[in-house]
């Protein structure tokens, strides 16, 4: 999954030095699409506009350590 994420491109807009990457297996994000990106089986990344089903799946998060409440983390959820 991580190979599908253009990490440098995704985090350069934050202009921060303390990038963190976290994988904790299957996660549930409810119906909130804020910061959510889907990764398909082919590695293609898409951003959902709205959800009618719960967002759940293996997730890799990119975030700024200590600033998770100020800078929205990017969550990459595998959705085959």
pLDDT score for 21: 96
pLDDT score for 18: 87
Q: Counting Cβ atoms within 10 Å, is residue 53 exposed (0-12), middle (13-18) or buried (19+)? A: exposed
pLDDT score for 17: 87
The vertex-59 CA angle with 41 and 53, nearest 5°, equals: 80
As averages over each run of 10 residues, the pLDDT of the chain (80 residues) reads: 93 92 96 96 92 95 95 94
Instruction: Please tell me the total count of domains within the chain.
Output: 1
Q: Which tokens hold the place of 5?
A: 């994420």
Q: What is the domain range of residue 49?
A: 2-78
List own/partner pairs for 6-14 with CB under 8 A and 24 or more apart.
7/62, 10/62, 10/74, 11/62, 11/74, 14/64, 14/71
């Amino acid at each position: 999954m991580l190979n599908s994420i253009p990490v440098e491109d995704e985090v350069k807009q934050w202009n921060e030095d303390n990038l963190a990457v976290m994988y904790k297996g299957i996660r549930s994000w409810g119906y909130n699409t804020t910061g959510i990106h889907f990764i398909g089986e082919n590695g293609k990344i898409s951003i959902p506009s709205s959800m009618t089903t719960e967002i759940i799946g293996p997730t890799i998060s990119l975030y700024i350590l200590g600033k998770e409440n100020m800078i929205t983390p990017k969550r990459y959820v595998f959705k085959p």
